[in-house]
Amino acid sequence: GQDESVLTGAPSTTATRASDVGTYAIGRGTLAAQNYVLPEAEGSLTIDPVRLSLTLDDQRRAYGSANPELTWRAAGFVLGQDESVLTGAPSTTATRASDVGTYAIGRGTLAA
């Protein structure tokens, strides 16, 4: 018996390494076999988002002072991208009038 080794060519998709997150069709492409008729067939390729790692930097300030800029670093970018693809800013519940203490800094509105 024969198996898939009689096939030549390759399936195709419009997705590339730089394609955005989403689902792309996979078609028969150039697949062929000399003694067989191949039906149209379709599959799908799903490109999932890359999970970044995020570090929120600790900050200090004196009582009654304004909060310093809340800074952060992200890692795990692909295709030469960097923090410039992110929008928003970290946040904290601490205000100028907050009591002395430690307050969490959260992701806030940071988004890709």
Spell out the domain ranges in the chain. 4-47, 50-112
8 A C-beta contact, residue 40 and residue 28: yes
- CA distance linking residue 43 with residue 92, whole number of Å: 46
Confidence at 84, pLDDT banded by 50, 70, 90 = very high
* Overall residue count recorded for the chain in this entry: 112
* Residue 66 falls in which region: left (phi positive, over 0), alpha (psi -120 to 50) or beta: beta
Global pTM reads 0.70
66-78 pLDDT, tens digit each = 999 999 999 999 9
Distances (CA, A) of 7 to 27, 30, 44: 15, 10, 20
8-52 pLDDT, tens digit each = 999 999 999 999 999 999 999 999 999 999 998 899 999 999 999
- CA distance linking residue 9 with residue 43, whole number of Å: 16
